[in-house]
Structure 1
């Protein structure tokens, strides 16, 4: 089958991988319909994080082509959303809300398990991992939003949930990538009254406002912190959502969070941060990789009902043969998030 192959920093090319087959009775083979490039993929592409040579990509929706004898909950022909982590959903860690900690689980596109940037994927623990989509003949806009649930919308939602966003809150979102924009949308969904988005790019500012941002701050660093404090009467935000992962963005998120609040962190950390200042402000933090499998069912209903439309974060589109263009567009900040069309329903 055709698939994206990571060959080293700056080198993601179309290549050939063996067709996936059922290896365990709990496996399924999913034919990919839509995949995409994640912001975290860029850390590998830029050489800032290590990645094994081989398949890449962890976000996809598709159709179940084969299901092992012990797979329950999904069947051949089902359209499914695949969370970026496969898990058994029954171990103590999964039941405690941390699917990434599942001893039997793992992630797609890790060089061993094929990723969503390919024509098909073997999904371990398919019955507990895959989420079937009810109905049929969904329009393209809905399919794009279903794809967003596999990671970025679930991750943005995780930031908001981790920070305890509730009705009437003032929220500050640090980061204007796809996850940050989905965090804006998630905050609006949870009832935030004021949503302050930090963004210096006109296209992302526009998307943030469409998703529910009430205020835009273009500054960074100390200037951005002061701007948030000015907007909040010197108090700070009831919840701050950190959606980048750099030392500066983490420091900004803590600085704009009011004393006694919680910062929701979902940006993959790069760099170090001293927690001494946060200690004396009673500011907490919570977050990490999103338990997408836990969130997808509730978010799925809102997508199908037209309540949320996270698929609008995809502003660049190509096919599998041009996967290198999808990476370049995001790396050069010509795209918020690249969608990759792989197969038909």
Structure 2
């Protein structure tokens, strides 16, 4: 089969790889129907993560079950499935508490499985994959693919930030996850949603998904604007979807005392000052999103036409143009690239 491999910063290639097979009795092998490039894939692509050897790229995926191990009970060959970027059994104490992104027996798809490919072996298939009700129409596939990571991550961030009716929400980050955080906040009943963005096309999409206010300023100026909008108090709920030092501090400082912040941007070289956290009285919850926890609900919302997260994909390319997909996102010519097979 063909799959994307990152050899060095800026050097991603589509190469022949061994076809996956069942190794453990809890495995499933799926044929990818669509995959995509994530903003977090840009960290190693830009050389901001150590790369000691070539790695398999891709962790967002939907597809058709081709084979299952002897112990797989909830899936059949031919099922159309949506999977999480985090492998989880969905039965351990951590998963049952709602944190499938940190399953006691889990792992991550990134770097080890690689779903920017034609086929993939998914471990712990019963706990990681969710079958859709029948074969979805083609127009639903991009939205279901978004559920595999960015929608589920934005939703997890909104739930972690305790978004709800009557609340004001601020979203730091206008990439795919931030935009899906806006969608989630709208669905969860937020009264006011502040999208922090300085890019007109992303501002327009944020408003499409429910943003009521746009703040273009960053850093302390951005915090000041949020405070101005919220009578000097800060937002009840804040979603952080970038992972830099500036974005983390902007998010914390935009949250009112007693408020909640959900942080899901993959962090790099961030250091949080303990004294400021102590006096902020902000609740912080975040980390690898528990996408599997929300997949049944999100699949239902998408298949019933209640939400359409597919607009976050603004570039579609065949898998053999994966390198161009990376370049387009790296150069901010695209928010998110969908790869067809």
TM-score category (smaller protein): over 0.9
3-state secondary structure, aligned to 2:323? helix
Q: Tell me the TM-score normalized by structure 2.
A: 0.97
3-state secondary structure, aligned to 2:321? helix
1:280 aligns with 2:306: no
1:264 aligns with 2:262: yes
CA distance in structure 1 between the partners assigned to 2:320 and 2:97 by the alignment: 40
Q: Give the total of aligned pairs.
A: 339
3-state secondary structure, aligned to 1:318? strand
When residues 116 and 124 of structure 1 are mapped into structure 2, their CA distance, relative to the original with a 3 A threshold, is: same
Q: Tell me the TM-score normalized by structure 1.
A: 0.96
Q: Deviations over 1:30-75 (max 9, x none)?
A: 0001000011100010111134413111000000011111111111
Partner of 2:49: 49
Q: Quote the RMSD (CA, aligned, Å).
A: 1.1
3-state secondary structure, aligned to 1:158? helix
Partner of 1:329: 328
CA distance in structure 2 between the partners assigned to 1:275 and 1:336 by the alignment: 34
3-state secondary structure, aligned to 1:261? strand
**Which stretches in structure 2 are left out of the alignment for 5+ residues?**
none
* Contact kept? 1:242, 1:267, Cα under 8 Å: yes
Give the C-alpha shift of residue 137 in structure 1: 4.5
Q: Deviations over 1:151-192 (max 9, x none)?
A: 000100111110111111100000000000000000000000
CA distance in structure 2 between the partners assigned to 1:281 and 1:272 by the alignment: 16
CA distance in structure 2 between the partners assigned to 1:265 and 1:163 by the alignment: 8
CA distance in structure 1 between the partners assigned to 2:135 and 2:9 by the alignment: 40
3-state secondary structure, aligned to 1:340? strand
When residues 109 and 282 of structure 1 are mapped into structure 2, their CA distance, relative to the original with a 3 A threshold, is: closer
When residues 290 and 137 of structure 1 are mapped into structure 2, their CA distance, relative to the original with a 3 A threshold, is: closer
CA distance in structure 2 between the partners assigned to 1:275 and 1:35 by the alignment: 40
3-state secondary structure, aligned to 1:109? coil
Partner of 2:89: 88
Please give the residue correspondences for 1:98-247 in structure 2 after superposition, counting only pairs within 5 Å. 98-110=99-111, 112=112, 114-140=113-139, 142-247=140-245
1:303 aligns with 2:282: no
Partner of 2:24: 24
Give the C-alpha shift of residue 305 in structure 1: 1.2
1:6 aligns with 2:28: no
3-state secondary structure, aligned to 1:280? helix
CA distance in structure 2 between the partners assigned to 1:203 and 1:339 by the alignment: 18
Give the C-alpha shift of residue 272 in structure 1: 1.5
Partner of 1:15: 15
Structure 1 runs (4+) greater than 6 angstroms displaced: none
CA distance in structure 2 between the partners assigned to 1:79 and 1:57 by the alignment: 19
Q: Deviations over 1:256-289 (max 9, x none)?
A: 1111111111111122221322311311211111
Give the C-alpha shift of residue 235 in structure 1: 1.4
CA distance in structure 1 between the partners assigned to 2:274 and 2:240 by the alignment: 15
**Which stretches in structure 1 are left out of the alignment for 5+ residues?**
none
* Contact kept? 1:278, 1:284, Cα under 8 Å: no
